[in-house]
Structure 1
Amino acid sequence: MEKFDIVVIGSGPGGYVAAIRASQLGYKTALVEKYTTLGGTCTNVGCIPTKALLDSTEHYHTAATKFATHGIKTDNLSLDFTQLINRKSDVVKQNISGLNYLMSKNKIEVITGTASFISNRQVKVTAANGSESTVNSTYFIIATGSKPATIPGVTIDKTRIITSTEALSLPEQPKSIAIIGGGVIGVEMASIYARIGTEVSIIEYADSLIPTMDRDLGKELKKLFTKSGIKVLLSHKVQSAVNNGDTATVKFLDSAGKPQEITADYCLVAVGRRPYTEGLGLENTNIQLDTKGRITVNEKLRTTEENIYAIGDVIAGPMLAHKAEEEGVFVAENINGQKPHINYKLIPGVVYTWPEVASVGFTEEELKKENREYNVGKFPFSASARARAAMEKDGFAKVLTDPKYGEILGIHIIGPRAADLIAQGVIGMEYEVTDEDMFRISYAHPTYSEALKEAYLISSGQGSLNI
């Protein structure tokens, strides 16, 4: 029976980062992963393959819709769907190879199998062939992630009623797809398939796309989706989904309560994810779950067992890979006696549609709910010289600031390279830089980042220099 200082259960972004940081701090570390590949959902069937397909389909869409304006002729343009999927798989393999290298470099022992607690100091690891081993550790970090959720009346069969996992590896391009859910996963998958000519319908229960983000972002995204041919149905309640053999039918109530239905090649269920704790043997510990099935932790991410911590999707908070990574480092350093910190309000959210959507801090709706005064600075990319040169004029940069001190309260962007631009806003908010400080610095011209400069100018009351 081998004894470790720290054993991490789950090799997703939170898990492998926690293991690396623990090893760097001098702990004898092991990483337990039930699948044969490292990386968890993000690397294998989530963030990485989705972004690979988003990039590929955006290239195709750009060639089909914009190249001619640039003077580039693309006669007889065609799409090789099989190569599209193969390229995605190659990207995943490259990332897995990188993770294997990192484990070896940091002398982390990788144990393949499913971990189940025997006690707070010991886990049983069951391999795919049924063989079992026992691992002892002073500390454990649970990083088992999440799995796709569903809703009453909809049973995922992975053939016609599918999740994003199956949608990333379909055998052929579907002619049509109905997506239940207009959150991050739903709108990204809608983008992938609509760009290559698939007829896409989104059925969303809330009255906005990406409903957890600032309302203006969802409103703008709906406008752009509708313009691109995606059918967006808001305030619609799904009742059921049925596999017809070669199609699937989704039945729902529209915003007026009238029964409707859509039949498509596939029904993609994208209503969120739920924490994955099944089979962990938590009943053999004092670890507690909340009403949503998440592991309960304190401010140091310690469970009700003094030596067991939990991070990522299995605890409360946004289900984001970079949130899990921050928590992985946070826990390893806490165990080491350090005093790290995480400001959860400053963890950005990104949607990789095109244009991209990114957000950090308070939304306008949250500030209104708190009866908090704020200024708004909003600048359209249509007034950006860089955006016009690139034919990327959709969207805007929006900043929310405190009227008295100029403190930045929130930043919300829908536009080209929003995923990269949001980092500047995170830095400004982390170090409590004011809106005036942010527009006083020099921005290269012409760049997309100038949209933020103008938004800061407007929110501070100085007035834009370009509109």
Structure 2
Amino acid sequence: MAVIEEAAAVSGGALASASADFDVIVIGSGPGGYIAAIRAAQLGKTVACIEEWRDDAGKPKLGGTCLNVGCIPSKALLASSEHFEQAVHGFAEHGIQVKEVALDLPQMIRRKAAIVDKITGGVEFLFRKNKVTWIKGHGKFTDRGTDGVIRVEVLEDNSAKTYRARSVIIATGSRARHLPGIPVDNKIVSDNVGALSFDTVPKRLAIIGAGVIGLELGSVWRRLGAEVTLLEALPTFLGALDETVAKEAERIFEKQGLNIHLAVTIGKIDMSAQGVSIAYKDKEGVDQKLEADRLIVSIGRVPNTHNLGLDAVGLSTDTRGFIPVDDQCRTSVPGIYAIGDVVRGPMLAHKAEDEGVMAAEMIDGQKPAIDYNRIPWVIYTEPEIAWVGKSEAQLKAEGCEIQTGQFPMKVNGRALGVGRPEGFIKMIADAKTDEILGVHIISANASELIAEAVVALEFGAASEDIGMISHPHPSLSEVMRESALAVRKRALNM
């Protein structure tokens, strides 16, 4: 009985008397992993973070996929390509004549790399500041002792060393899903990694997959001069979005020049040094062929749960490769947590961060919780798309009585002034209580505007509450207020 009480008194399940090198070991240093490590250190734990990532030069790097070849570099290229397109096509409207605009793609790529170096270097600084030990190499479980201590082996350069921890947080992220039988060389055929570092702008670019990553990467290279065609297997465009937003997005993107084909069936893909030839059936079942200089495969991501030694500690994945966890990211093994892309839920960096904080606080004996309905989504196209809460179709399917308010950007003075009048904000509220149930945005700076909606949902605000709040004039945020007023048919500027 004394041993049971001693074990119960210690978070993670390890006996208080057991010896360990660290209170917490985090495997993976992406947004979820490095945040988990920092939060655990803030709570007074001794912490190590294991990371095997190396850049093209072989230098060890923190930050995982997101910081090195995902979120950060893609947004840098999106911004650069937007500036280029404005210089070529947009400045004249403002009375600015720019002649002989030239694209310096190598400089654009260097700028992206410099931003990545700064951000990943910042994580390294935060580790030093918070006394988090960075262990370089590949981490995998070897066993969990009867005292509850978990052993993790780290492999680097053909050498191995084992570390002991009271608790372990798995934060190994995800990788791009590839097409069977189609090798990705990141030259002719690329995933998201290669698509961020083209040495030239392809004349014809094919993308398989018209989801978030496909649209963002397609937008970058279209602005820089590529003819972009997206082939999507699903019959609807961006089916996870509210239908009104998805329809508006499809209209805008096609007007911009993205060629989007839905409900296609991919057939044989032939590759050569000169390019690719993609056979497919269109939505009517007619055979088609697409010739392109380069192909980006963007068909989703799969969790990095291979070669972790999960079976050595009594863990296994589900049929899709995810690690089963409860609402607090606890696995079935005491003392082992899993967060981010390796568990259920959306593959979003900020979701992983929240779960990292939660796991660290659970280890500390606290009782944190996450409401996944309050986590925002963003697509960084132009205009941007962002949403939080549920869509109109979801709420109607659940039998909810709702009211909606929608207000366009085209009558907003700030949107007109900055030359970004596309899109709208749509707010959905409970018909009886007026509680906000969802907010859906397609507009410039939607990634920033959605934060107000997240706060509103988190605190159970009504649309009337947003309608009563003073918003700065002129600003894009005024459209949030107008959409809230529109729920009760009280919009003031239309």
TM-score of the superposition, structure 1-length normalised?
A: 0.97
**How much does 1:153 deviate?**
5.6
Equivalent in 48, 71, 79 of residue 72 of structure 2 = 48
- Corresponding position of 1:116: 140
Aligned mates of 1:448, 1:237 — CA distance in 2 = 40
Aligned mates of 2:185, 2:394 — CA distance in 1 = 38
DSSP 3-state at the match of 1:158: coil
Contact kept? 1:249, 1:267, Cα under 8 Å: no
Aligned partner of 2:493: which letter?
Answer: N
**How much does 1:103 deviate?**
0.6
The answer to which of 192-201 and 219-228 deviates more is 219-228
- Corresponding position of 1:247: 275
DSSP 3-state at the match of 2:21: strand
**How much does 1:215 deviate?**
2.0
- Corresponding position of 2:195: 167
**How much does 1:237 deviate?**
2.0
Contact kept? 1:49, 1:91, Cα under 8 Å: yes
1:178-257 to 2 correspondences below 5 Å: 178-257=206-285
DSSP 3-state at the match of 1:115: strand
- Corresponding position of 2:110: 86
1:56-455 to 2 correspondences below 5 Å: 56-120=80-144, 121-127=150-156, 129-152=157-180, 154-455=182-483
Change (3 A) 1:369 1:240: farther
Aligned mates of 1:240, 1:18 — CA distance in 2 = 44
Aligned mates of 1:377, 1:90 — CA distance in 2 = 43
DSSP 3-state at the match of 1:177: strand
Contact kept? 2:187, 2:198, Cα under 8 Å: no
- Corresponding position of 1:26: 44
Aligned mates of 1:154, 1:424 — CA distance in 2 = 43
- Corresponding position of 1:10: 28
Aligned mates of 1:364, 1:290 — CA distance in 2 = 31
Aligned partner of 2:80: which letter?
Answer: S
Aligned mates of 1:147, 1:347 — CA distance in 2 = 22
DSSP 3-state at the match of 1:82: helix
**How much does 1:2 deviate?**
6.8
Aligned mates of 1:438, 1:118 — CA distance in 2 = 53
| Structure 1 runs (4+) greater than 6 angstroms displaced | none
- Corresponding position of 1:465: 492
Aligned mates of 1:279, 1:377 — CA distance in 2 = 50
The answer to which of 129-138 and 155-164 deviates more is 155-164
The runs of 5 or more residues in structure 1 that have no matched partner are: none
* 1:314-339 deviation per Cα after TM superposition (whole angstroms, max 9, x unaligned): 00000000000000000000111111
Contact kept? 2:20, 2:166, Cα under 8 Å: no
Aligned partner of 1:235: which letter?
Answer: A
Change (3 A) 1:45 1:427: same
User: If you compute each CA radius of gyration, which structure gives the higher value, 1 or 2?
Assistant: 2
Contact kept? 1:288, 1:303, Cα under 8 Å: no
- Corresponding position of 2:3: none
Aligned partner of 1:350: which letter?
Answer: V
Provide the aligned length of Structure 1 versus Structure 2.
465
The answer to which of 377-386 and 233-242 deviates more is 233-242
DSSP 3-state at the match of 1:164: coil
DSSP 3-state at the match of 1:375: strand
The answer to which of 291-300 and 15-24 deviates more is 291-300
**How much does 1:64 deviate?**
1.3
Aligned partner of 2:21: which letter?
Answer: K
Aligned mates of 1:109, 1:276 — CA distance in 2 = 22
Aligned mates of 1:372, 1:154 — CA distance in 2 = 45
Contact kept? 1:395, 1:413, Cα under 8 Å: yes
Aligned mates of 2:299, 2:246 — CA distance in 1 = 16
What RMSD, in angstroms, separates the aligned Cα atoms of the two structures? Answer: 1.3
DSSP 3-state at the match of 1:66: helix
**How much does 1:388 deviate?**
1.1
**How much does 1:401 deviate?**
0.7
DSSP 3-state at the match of 1:326: helix
* 1:269-294 deviation per Cα after TM superposition (whole angstroms, max 9, x unaligned): 11110000111011212113122110
Aligned mates of 2:50, 2:268 — CA distance in 1 = 38
Contact kept? 1:152, 1:239, Cα under 8 Å: no
Aligned mates of 1:221, 1:208 — CA distance in 2 = 12
- Corresponding position of 2:13: none
Contact kept? 1:2, 1:134, Cα under 8 Å: no
**How much does 1:205 deviate?**
1.4
Aligned partner of 1:172: which letter?
Answer: T
* 1:338-392 deviation per Cα after TM superposition (whole angstroms, max 9, x unaligned): 1111110110000111111101000122112212221111111111111111111
**How much does 1:239 deviate?**
2.4
* 1:73-106 deviation per Cα after TM superposition (whole angstroms, max 9, x unaligned): 1111111011111110011011011011001101
